Amino acid sequence: MTEVAVEARWIALGGGPEGYLALPRKGAARGAVVVAGEFFGVNRHLRLVCNRLAGEGYAVLAPDFYWRDTPRAGFGYDEEGRTEGRRLMTGLRRDEVLADLTAARRVAVECTGTGGVAVLGFSLGGHIAVLGATELPFDLVVSYYGGWLLDGGIPLAEPVAPVALADRIAGRAGFLLGFLGADDSVMPPREWHRVGERLAAAGAAFEQVTYEGVGHGFFNDERPDTHHEKAAADSWHRTLDELAARVAR
């Protein structure tokens, strides 16, 4: 991913957590985006995503959800990184993640004097983005291959998975945009279809985009085993279009 010249630093969010903040180098931010990553933490790739969004004119904040165990954790994609990421992921609890997300949303909004606010996440972060929409108001929710959305499967999805609370999402989210590869190993196609049915029944405004022949993790260009250039480019353009329409001022 190309480096983008922005103002970036770690900041305290109040009450314990920190977050990686990226701001446009010139001019005021035209909206706020809270970003949640894969279970690898706030690693290099996630920081580059934040910088890329800041380069588009947004105030972008990636909270460190692992701070209670391992502050500023960020792992690579080898077996050691995967093992530690899984360990930390299974230690996350709903009330703590929502508290961190609330703090991140508040600080991100404070960094822009205008515009709306979005939450965007990848895999575990895609789950967190949708979870956040059950409790917090967002103009836009973007979930890249978020897992465990309806049938659960991790402690963070207990006692009830986010899309089981679709009525809350419909009442708080301006629009939900979801991306999934048809060959995703985390979110089965049947569950993905039922996610759409549940959101539609609740009256939520949403769009699901499915890429045929594409697997989990397709956006991450630091993972050549899963990266899919065409799907990554298309999903990014769609994300920027929705940000421009629903968040930017």
| Domain ranges within the chain, ordered by starting residue | 7-246
pLDDT of 2 reads: 60
* Per-residue CA distances from 185 to 27, 46, 145, 172 (Å): 42, 21, 10, 29
* Mean pLDDT for all residues in the chain: 96
pLDDT of 206 reads: 98
Instruction: Quick: pLDDT tens for 87-133.
Output: 999 999 999 999 999 999 999 999 987 899 999 999 999 999 999 99
pLDDT of 122 reads: 98
CA distance 192 to 180: 8
Q: Which regions of the chain are under pLDDT 70?
A: 1-5
Handedness of CA 64, 216, 191, 151 (dihedral sign): negative
* Per-residue CA distances from 158 to 10, 16, 21, 148, 150 (Å): 30, 24, 29, 10, 11
Does domain 7-246 sit in CATH 3.30.56.10?
A: no
Cis peptide upstream of residue 189 (ω within 30 degrees of 0): no
- Which among 112, 13, 26 has a CA at the least distance from the CA of 65? 13
* Per-residue CA distances from 15 to 68, 104, 144, 160 (Å): 11, 11, 29, 26
> Beta-carbon neighbour count of residue 115 at 10 Å?
22
